[in-house]
Amino acid sequence: MTEPGAGEDRQVFESVAGAGRGALRALWARRDERETMHPTERRLLELLETHREYRPFWEGADPGPEENPFLHVVMHEVIDRQVAKDDPPGTREAFERLVNAGLDPHDAQHRILEVFARAMHELMAGGRPLDPTVYRARLDALDAGSDSGPGDTT
């Protein structure tokens, strides 16, 4: 079996991303049918509604090259699940600590999302697997007063 080239990889990723965008846009179009939706669909719809600044994208506008509202919403769902399951360990504790320190739950999610996005970037850019100890240390370093955790080198 031959390995796909970079162009083929990009084409596959763009196809998958397009399908995801289409699914979220279809969900937005069905927002008046909320009562008949699956609980996960309702949760995703709530996230779409929370991000009012992205409404043009939910309704069909294309984001700019530096903007991915669709990925943003999906990452919120990932953080919700991490907090609910406390997986990786320490996620729920970090969320509760941030909320108890005065952050709105949505803003607390954004703080954890920063840690998650950094870990995913390191995974994709450098091929380094998620190190649960480093991830936990970054979660533990989050506080309600700053926009991001300390600038460590781990």
- Domain limit, last residue, from 65, 98, 113: 65
Question: What was the pLDDT predicted at 7?
Answer: 57
Looking at the structure, tell me whether residues 51 and 106 fall in a common domain.
no
Is pLDDT of 150 > 50?
A: no
**Residue 78 covered by a domain:** no
Looking at the structure, tell me whether residues 56 and 108 fall in a common domain.
no
CA-CA distance, 151 to 130, in Å (whole number)?
18
Is pLDDT of 1 > 50?
A: no
Domain count, the chain: 2
Question: Residue 114: how many CB atoms within 10 A of its CB?
Answer: 15
Cα dist. 62→16, 17, 20 in Å?
16, 13, 13
For residue range 124-143, what is the model confidence (pLDDT) as tens digits?
A: 888 778 889 999 999 999 98
For residue range 70-108, what is the model confidence (pLDDT) as tens digits?
A: 888 888 989 999 999 999 999 999 999 999 999 999 999
Question: What was the pLDDT predicted at 126?
Answer: 80
Residue 11 vs residue 6, higher pLDDT: 11
Is pLDDT of 14 > 80?
A: no
Average confidence (pLDDT) over 42-67? 88
Question: What was the pLDDT predicted at 6?
Answer: 52
Question: What was the pLDDT predicted at 149?
Answer: 44
Looking at the structure, tell me whether residues 24 and 54 fall in a common domain.
yes
Looking at the structure, tell me whether residues 52 and 113 fall in a common domain.
no
Question: What was the pLDDT predicted at 93?
Answer: 96
Residue 110 is part of which domain span? 86-154
CA-CA distance, 79 to 117, in Å (whole number)?
10
HEC readout, the chain? CCCCCHHHHHHHHHHHHHHHHHHHHHHHHCHHHHHHCCHHHHHHHHHHHHCHHHHHHHCCCCCCCCCCHHHHHHHHHHHHHHHHHCCCCCHHHHHHHHHHCCCCHHHHHHHHHHHHHHHHHHHHHHCCCCCHHHHHHHHHHCCCCCCCCCCCCC
Question: Residue 152: how many CB atoms within 10 A of its CB?
Answer: 9
Question: What was the pLDDT predicted at 153?
Answer: 39
Q: What is the mean pLDDT of the chain?
A: 84
- Domain limit, last residue, from 65, 95, 116: 65
Q: Which of 84, 54, 144 is nearest to 108 (CA)?
A: 144
Question: What was the pLDDT predicted at 23?
Answer: 87
